[in-house]
Amino acid sequence: MEYEEKVEEENLTIVGELILLGFSDLPNLQGFLFGIFLIIYMSILMGNGLIIVITMVDPTLQTPMYFFLGNFSFLEICYTSVTLPRMLTNLWTQNRAISLMACAMQLSFFLILGVTESFLLVVMAYDRYVAICKPLYYPLVMNHKVCVQLVVVSWIVGIPGQVVQTYKVISLPFCFNELNHVFCDVSPLLELACGDTSVQEFSVYAFAVLLGMLPFLTIIGFYFKIITTILKLPLVIGRRKAFSTCSSHLIVVGLFYGSGIITYLIPKSSQSEIKNVLSLFYTIVTPMFNPMIYSLKNKDVIAALKKLLMKILA
């Protein structure tokens, strides 16, 4: 017994920095990956930036739905900026080291913004629920003050819990310093920890259920009521218009939660092979497609973009 404890103490390493392995197993594609991720990041900044601008300057888009869309686009820029610039730097310099403090900061912002996205998606679903199911009360219920309060709550609700979550994970003793991931995330960090991490793992899944699944189920509940109300509409044109205003949001919800749920539910044994792809999907690919999803299916957004382009080119 004493020998085992001594061996465990000898294996315990005080880790000051971590190595993000990421795509290190593809040495010949580092330049290509840098170019691809740079294009993706620029498209995220430009696409979501355009959405922010038009929702602020176009008078026809001064409604709660577009107010939330503008905030959502700003969130997507922040969300990808937590991970993508670091990935680009690692690919360009081939220096994959990250200090434990920088890793903690990245993890904390990543978790907080992930929770913010979950709750902002709930707020957007609630907006559509009130607009379709209670149209006469919509101007009263979704006034500007309420909209601002809902957005502020979405941004701050995850801060305390996720800061504590980050502290619990980062304060663990690490036996290894090679992180088999493209950025600092909870599950890969727990794999580096010494000893039993079952308590921390339970905490991770508890927070995932509380701050991830509950918002998702709330969105499902809102859309169940929305679809039930739409099907009762007498005119086919009215149904089509109502479905059109909700379809973009439903696609974004499906992309975000679908990839996130799969990432948490797949077995640990197979997670290492596909977790990088899945994490990139809901942290990078989804934010890149969001502006296209909302603009291509929305005549008001397309009209506002055309007016903005005409002003720029005039």
CATH number at residue 251: 1.20.1070.10
Could you tell me the CA-to-CA distances from 116 to 76, 135, 299 in Å, in that order?
A: 10, 27, 27
Q: Report d(CA 141, CA 133) in Å as an integer.
A: 12
State both tokens at 3.
Answer: 């020998």
Which range (84-93, 188-197, 229-238) has the least confidence?
A: 229-238
Classify residue 3: in a domain, yes or no.
no
Which residue bears the tokens 């948490």?
A: 264
Q: Identify the pLDDT of residue 237.
A: 59
Average pLDDT, integer, range 142-155: 94
State both tokens at 147.
Answer: 């909209």
Classify residue 124: in a domain, yes or no.
yes
Q: Report d(CA 82, CA 110) in Å as an integer.
A: 6
Count of domains for the chain: 1
Classify residue 2: in a domain, yes or no.
no
DSSP H helical ranges for 58-197: 64-93, 100-133, 138-141, 144-156, 159-170, 186-192
Sign of CA dihedral 95, 97, 101, 102: positive
Which residue bears the tokens 């290190």?
A: 24
Q: Report d(CA 287, CA 292) in Å as an integer.
A: 10
pLDDT, tens only, 115-142: 999 999 999 999 999 988 888 899 999 9
Classify residue 206: in a domain, yes or no.
yes
Q: Which residue range forms the structural domain that includes residue 255?
A: 12-313
The confidence band for 10, taking pLDDT boundaries of 50, 70 and 90, is: very low
- Three-state secondary structure call for residue 235: coil
Q: Report d(CA 70, CA 88) in Å as an integer.
A: 26
pLDDT, tens only, 228-269: 888 877 766 556 766 777 778 888 888 888 777 776 666 555
Does 203 have pLDDT greater than 60? yes
Flag whether the pTM goes above 0.85.
yes
Q: Which of 112, 116, 143, 111 is nearest to 127 (CA)?
A: 143
With contact defined as beta carbons under 8 Å apart, do 282 and 42 qualify? Answer: no
DSSP H helical ranges for 13-63: 30-57
Does 298 have pLDDT greater than 50? yes
Q: Report d(CA 203, CA 207) in Å as an integer.
A: 6
φ/ψ bin of 22: left (φ > 0), alpha (ψ from -120 to 50), beta (otherwise): left
Higher-confidence residue of 16 and 54: namely 54
Classify residue 5: in a domain, yes or no.
no
Which range (30-34, 105-109, 255-259) has the least confidence?
A: 255-259
Average pLDDT, integer, range 146-172: 89
Average pLDDT, integer, range 200-224: 83
Classify residue 126: in a domain, yes or no.
yes
Classify residue 4: in a domain, yes or no.
no
Q: Identify the pLDDT of residue 4.
A: 42
Q: Identify the pLDDT of residue 236.
A: 61
Does 48 have pLDDT greater than 90? yes
Does 308 have pLDDT greater than 50? yes
Distance separating the N- and C-terminal Cα atoms of the chain? 80
Does 191 have pLDDT greater than 60? yes
Which range (73-77, 80-84, 271-275) has the least confidence?
A: 271-275
